[in-house]
Amino acid sequence: MSKQQELFKEPSVICGRGEDKIVYNSISAKSATFKSGTNKKIHSWFRLTPSYGPDLVDIMLEKLNYQTGDIVLDPFCGASTTLIQCKLSNIECFGFEINPLLHFVGVTSLNWNLNIQVVETAFSDIERLYTERSTTLREKDVEDLDIELPKIHNVFRWWRKDVLKELVILRQIIRTADLESPYKDFFLLAIAGVLVPDLTNVTLGKLQLHFINRDNHEINVFSSFSKQVEMMLNDLKVIEAEYKSLPPASLYHTDSTDIAALNIEKKATLVLTSPPYPNRYSYVWNTRPHLYFLEIFDNAKQASALDLKTIGGTWGVATSNLQKGIIAPEYEIIKEVVEPVVSRIRETDNLMANYVMKYFNLIAKQIVEMEKVVSPDVKIAYVVGNSEIKGVYVETDVLLGKIFEGLNLGYTTFEITRFRKRNSGVDLYESIVYARK
C-alpha cells in the first residue's frame, strides 16, 4: 500500500490554524477513485463514479494502524466500497446510507451467501423466458405491453423505446420469478450495474448525468445483462472457494445525521468515509434512472424530498429552500471557522452561501450523532474535496479538521493528507482528514 504513496515536492503552507498538519502525498487517480474497483471482485458490480476506490480503503486502514478486532464504520456508504473491502479483508464493519438505491446496491453486494446452483438455474430460466416473451411480444410497442413503465418525467428521453421494451420485459421476468428476494435482488442489481451508461440515453459527466442521442447506437439489453450476471456469479464462486468464514457487514438505511432509531450495540473503533463534497453534486439526480427503473421511486416529490435531506443536496425543493433567508451556524465552531467563508460568498450569492452553511452544519451534526456508535478511542479518516464557490476558496479539509477539534468531543486532527489535484482550472485538492481521540 505504501508504495502507492509518493511525496509531492510542494510546501505545506496554508494560512490559518492547522497549517502544520497538511502533507502532500500523491495517490494515483486509479488507486484513489472508483477506477481501482472496476476490475476487482464485488466492487465491479456497481459503478458510482464519485466513490473512492478499494485501494484508498487499504491506505486509510494502514494509516490508522488497523489491528485485529477493530470494527469499521462508514456513515456515508455510497456504493459500500468501504464495507465490501473490509469484508474481503476479514474486518467487521457496519455503515449507513440514506439513498434507497445505494442501500439496495450495498446490501445486495454484501450478500455472498447465495446458493450458486440456484443462481445458475434461475439465470437459465430467465434467459429462456426472456427469449419466449420477446418473441411473443415482438409486434407490440412498449406502451402496449401492459407493463408499468418507469414513472420518471419524459421517460422516452431517458430510454429508447426499443431498449426500454427489452428492459421492462426483463425486469418483469425477474420480479415474477419463483425466487426468494435475495436472488431476485441479485439479478436486479445486475441490471442496475449496466443501466448507466450502457442502456440509458445518458453519459457520465464530471458532476452530473448528461443526455446524449443514442438513436444510432447498437444496444443489446440481454447481452449486457448476461455479461454482468456471469461476472457477478464468477465472483461468488471465487469467494466460496477462497473464504471459509466472513465477518459481519451490516448496512443500515438511515440518515447519518439522525441515528436515534438504531440499536447498535458494538462500537466502531475506526471510521473510514467520504461525505458528499460541497460541489453541488447530487447523488439523487445521478441515480434517478435506477431509482425509477427499479420502482424504488414513483414520483418526483420523493426525489426532491430525499435531496432536501442529504448533505450537499441542491436539486428540486432543496434549491428553492436555499434561496430563502439566511441559514445560521448551528455550532460555535461553525460560527468561528465557516461563517467568515460563508460571509464572503454571500456578498455575491445568497443561495450558495446558504448551501455551504447548511453543508457544514450537517457535517458537524453527523460527527456529533456518530458519538452513539464509536468507541472512546476511535480513529477516523474523512475523504473530502475542496471547492471554489463564487470565487471563494472553500478549504473543506482544513475547515473539517478544525470542526473535529472544535466540537469538544475529544478529537485531535493529526494529519490532513492532500492526495490528488482535482480536474479543474483551479488549485483544488481531494484530501483525507485524519483525527483521533
Q: Per residue in 230-286, pLDDT tens?
A: 999 999 999 999 998 999 999 999 999 999 999 999 999 999 999 988 876 677 878
Give the global pTM: 0.92
Q: How many CA atoms lie within 13 A of 235 on its CB side?
A: 22
pLDDT confidence of residue 3: 32
Positions in the chain short of pLDDT 50: 1-17
| E strands, 283-400, in order | 374-385, 387-389, 392-394
Distance CA(404)–CA(400), nearest Å, equals 6
Distances (CA, A) of 268 to 79, 262, 351, 383: 20, 14, 36, 18
pLDDT confidence of residue 19: 64
- For the chain, how long is the longest CA-to-CA vector? 70
Q: Per residue in 403-426, pLDDT tens?
A: 999 999 999 999 999 988 766 656
Q: Is the separation of the CB atoms in 250 and 80 below 8 Å?
A: no
Please give the grid coordinates belonging to residue 291.
431509482
With H, G, I as helix, E, B as strand and everything else as coil, classify residue 200. coil
Enumerate the H helices of 64-176 as residue ranges. Answer: 81-88, 100-109, 116-136, 155-158, 161-175
Give residues with Cβ within 8 angstroms of 384, minimum separation 6: 274, 275, 277, 396, 397, 400, 430, 431, 432, 433
pLDDT confidence of residue 12: 34
Q: Is the separation of the CB atoms in 392 and 428 below 8 Å?
A: no
Give residues with Cβ within 8 angstroms of 306, minimum separation 6: 98, 99, 100, 284, 313
Closest C-alpha to 337, from 76, 16, 7: 16
Closest C-alpha to 97, from 302, 290, 366: 366
194 phi and psi angles, rounded to 5 deg? -115, 0
Distance CA(405)–CA(78), nearest Å, equals 26
Place of cell 443526455: 211
Where are the domains positioned within the chain? 2-112+245-436, 116-242
Strand partners, 253: 97
Distance CA(69)–CA(72), nearest Å, equals 10
Over the Cα atoms of the chain, what is R_g? 22
pLDDT confidence of residue 153: 93
DSSP H or E segment with residue 153:
none
pLDDT confidence of residue 50: 74
Give residues with Cβ within 8 angstroms of 128, minimum separation 6: none
Count other C-beta atoms under 10 Å from residue 150's C-beta. 22
Enumerate the H helices of 220-378 as residue ranges. Answer: 221-242, 283-286, 288-293, 300-309, 317-322, 332-337, 339-346, 350-369
Closest C-alpha to 147, from 169, 178, 123: 169
With H, G, I as helix, E, B as strand and everything else as coil, classify residue 94. strand
Specify the CATH superfamily of domain 2-112+245-436.
Vaccinia Virus protein VP39 (3.40.50.150)
120, 125, 128, 130 alpha-carbon torsion, rounded to 10°: -100
